[in-house]
Chain A
């Protein structure tokens, strides 16, 4: 059995393209599992914060944040929202920007590290993204995060204690530094096989081509 192909992903919770990119990658992984020659794949999410200066409670909506805080044209924000909603539907995602709460995602990233330590990172990542972009839940609050941990099959009270103690804060910071070091300037950002880097929510076909390339290189083809 050959060594698993590692996929390292830098992403933020507050990143709608990261949600789409996760599902496009998973579509590629499904296809790779069918005809990838038996190569196993291991996925690890790394922390990245698009706006580390945000407070826990941002006084405005998603659209107000993009238009006001970032100076984007409101019409372009609306266009972008509609486009993401249409693309998301292809993967069963329901973007609900009207209820999206803008918050600092540092604690959510701590939860992802808590989950990783217990082998449940992917489940928690999915739950966090859905909570943020579909359910309009406040993913900056420890109460919400402990509930998400529980929903993902983890010990919610243990998660709460870890978050209150900042047990994984250093791990979050280390991920952010590692991202900057390798040249991450936007997310989602994928490194496949420790070698090939892709920025953005690429189509499944693109991920699949790279996975097949890594597999063929490993198999000496």
Chain B
């Protein structure tokens, strides 16, 4: 099995279909058509073609750490 088997190459066109009004030219303005799985949902981190954060469903509050700061979603939650 190649890496692409796992990352969705063989699933092109059969994945989850988005809703809304695709094709507006701006990803945020309409639903997207997902041709592959949306990314690792577990703690696989960097395997099989995609790197995922340890908590991929975390909201924007997760993404506020600057250099030197530790977020609430730090290592302690992940091991």
Instruction: Return B69 CB to nearest CB of chain A, in Å.
Output: 7
Question: Which residues from A are CB-within-8-Å of B45?
Answer: 50, 66, 70, 72
Question: Which residues from A are CB-within-8-Å of B8?
Answer: 198-200, 202
Whether B25 pairs with A186 at a CB distance below 8 angstroms is no
Question: Which residues from B are CB-within-8-Å of A52?
Answer: 62-66, 71
Contacts known (A194-B30, A202-B9); A56 close to B47, Cβ less than 8 A: no
User: Between A and B, how many residue pairs show CB distances below 8 Å?
Assistant: 186
Whether A53 pairs with B69 at a CB distance below 8 angstroms is yes
Whether B52 pairs with A185 at a CB distance below 8 angstroms is yes
Whether A200 pairs with B54 at a CB distance below 8 angstroms is no
Contacts known (A186-B40, A187-B39); A201 close to B49, Cβ less than 8 A: yes
Q: Mark A34-68, 1 if CB is under 8 A from B, else 0.
A: 00000000000000011111111000000000101
Task: Count residues of chain A with CB under 8 A from any CB of chain B.
Answer: 64
Question: Which residues from A are CB-within-8-Å of B49?
Answer: 17, 21, 200-202
Instruction: Return A132 CB to nearest CB of chain B, in Å.
Output: 13
Whether B78 pairs with A71 at a CB distance below 8 angstroms is yes
Contacts known (A52-B65, A200-B48); A206 close to B56, Cβ less than 8 A: no
Whether B27 pairs with A191 at a CB distance below 8 angstroms is yes
Chain B residues with a Cβ under 8 A of chain A: 3-4, 7-9, 12, 18, 22-30, 32-41, 43, 45-54, 56-60, 62-75, 78-79
Could you jot down 24 A-B contacts, CB within 8 Å?
A: A18-B51, A50-B45, A52-B62, A55-B68, A55-B69, A70-B43, A76-B47, A178-B27, A180-B58, A181-B28, A185-B39, A185-B56, A186-B51, A187-B51, A194-B23, A195-B33, A197-B32, A197-B34, A199-B34, A199-B39, A201-B7, A201-B49, A202-B49, A210-B12
